[in-house]
Structure 1
Amino acid sequence: MQRPEAWPRPHPGEGAAAAQVGGPAPPAQAGEPSGLRLQEPSLYTIKAVFILDNDGRRLLAKYYDDTFPSMKEQMVFEKNVFNKTSRTDSEIAFFGGMTIVYKNSIDLFLYVVGSSYENELMLMAVLTCLFESLSHMLRKNVEKRWLLENMDGAFLVLDEIVDGGVILESDPQQVIQKVNFRADDGGLTEQSVTQVIQSAKEQIKWSLLK
């Protein structure tokens, strides 16, 4: 998939990082120029979604593949992404062979991560849907205090948008309707509460190991 010329290109040094993260690339096919490999279309568009506070600390995160298999690797990645993006006015970045779209809201930073060859517009559609869904759920106060008080609902919103890296929904109205239905039907279950508790425990554990 070709990226429109208007988008910024990854820094040459980031190609090496991508190779380290994703492992060696398969050999080029016959007739294919050296160093160029066409990517097969895939439904697994999203590699990760996470929300950080304005100090770069994780509030909510979900990873959908094994690019960063450990909590330590995820936290290092998030911190590096935050350092690269928190002082810029852009909405897109290329880091470690990945395409990252992001949005700042008061004291929060929302990130959606895809592969280097993913369509930025698809990633941005997920980011916009996540932000607008949270805005509706939090009554337009997309900030840390309200997010922490409604974390179970935030997990439900994210689960309605992305499942296992596959984009399920990009219409915030549909997301809110489904979340409300699940809530009315007892959807704020032990599973969503357990996710919040587990995430908090892992965050504390990693902080103590630093």
Structure 2
Amino acid sequence: MDELILDPSFYTVKAILTLDNGGDRFFAKYCDDSYPGVKEQKAFEKNTFNKTCQTDTETALLGGLTVVCKSSIDLYFYTIGSSYENEMMLMAILNCLFFDSLSQMLRKNVEKRALLENMEGFFLVVDEIVDWGVILESNPQQWVQRVLQSAKEQIKWSLLR
């Protein structure tokens, strides 16, 4: 009866990463202090990329973490949670964030160049999804609406200046 009983927690996501096809950081949002320094983060990202880029699987266990991966044309998208997190929940976040919301925003052109041109919207989508590991929204339509609303407000304020 030495089972591990975990207290329920809203903290599901430990990190959201986007790496280019060379394994270099394109975007990273760490939600806790598991990797406190840039050096540790980059080493983790390289290790994650090396372990996942050569396989067809979308889920991996690396160093006590559950890593869910999807690739696009020249980018790799990752959602990372603790080893006891539900892979289906992490995959739902990844699918909704990167392949539903971003596809709508970028008109189905989810690639590095298009994201570079729309980084502000990309940051807003990520911020609408997860706040310090807590999942805020799981409906991609809501994310897109919030990003569009925020863009309209920024245009309005820039015109008033």
- TM-score band by shorter chain is over 0.9
SS of the aligned residue for 1:44 comes to: coil
1:40 positional shift: 1.2
After superposition, where does 1:56-67 map in structure 2 within 5 Å?
56-67=23-34
Residue correspondence of structure 1 range 147-166 to structure 2 within 5 A: 147-166=115-134
Residue from 21, 44, 49 that aligns with 1:77: 44
d(CA) in 2 for partners of 1:167, 1:185: 24
Instruction: Show the counterpart of 1:137.
Output: 105
One of 49, 63, 67 as aligned partner of 1:96: 63
Structure 1 runs of 4+ with >6 Å offset:
none
- Asked if 1:179 is matched to 2:147, the reply is yes
Deviation, 1:61, is 0.8
Asked if 1:128 corresponds to 2:95, the answer is: yes
Identity %: 61
Distance in 2 separating the partners of 1:48 and 1:182: 24
Cα distance in 2 between the residues matched to 1:89 and 1:120: 16
How far apart in 1 are the matches of 2:120 and 2:19?
A: 16
Structure 2: runs of 5 or more not aligned: none
Letter in 2 for 1:78: E
- Distance in 2 (CA, whole Å) between partners of 1:138 and 1:98 is 30
Q: Which amino acid aligns with 2:13?
A: I
The SS at the match of 1:78 is helix
Tell me by how many angstroms 1:89 deviates: 0.7
Normalising to structure 1: TM-score of the pair? 0.72
Q: How many residue pairs end up in the alignment?
A: 155
Amino acid at match of 1:168: L
For residues 121-159 of structure 1, give each alpha carbon's deviation from its aligned partner in whole angstroms, at most 9, with x where no partner exists: 110111011111111111111111111111111000000
Q: Relative contact order (alpha carbons < 8 A, sep ≥ 6): 1 or 2 greater?
A: 2
For the aligned residues, what is the CA RMSD?
A: 1.3
Residue 79 of structure 1, CA deviation: 0.4
Structure 2 partner of 1:198: none
Q: Tell me the TM-score normalized by structure 2.
A: 0.93
> Which consecutive residues of structure 1, in runs of 5 or more, have no partner in the other structure?
1-31, 190-210
Q: Secondary structure at the match of 1:88?
A: coil
1:41 Cα deviation (Å)? 1.1
Rg (Cα) greater in structure: 1
**Alignment partner of 1:123: what SS?**
helix
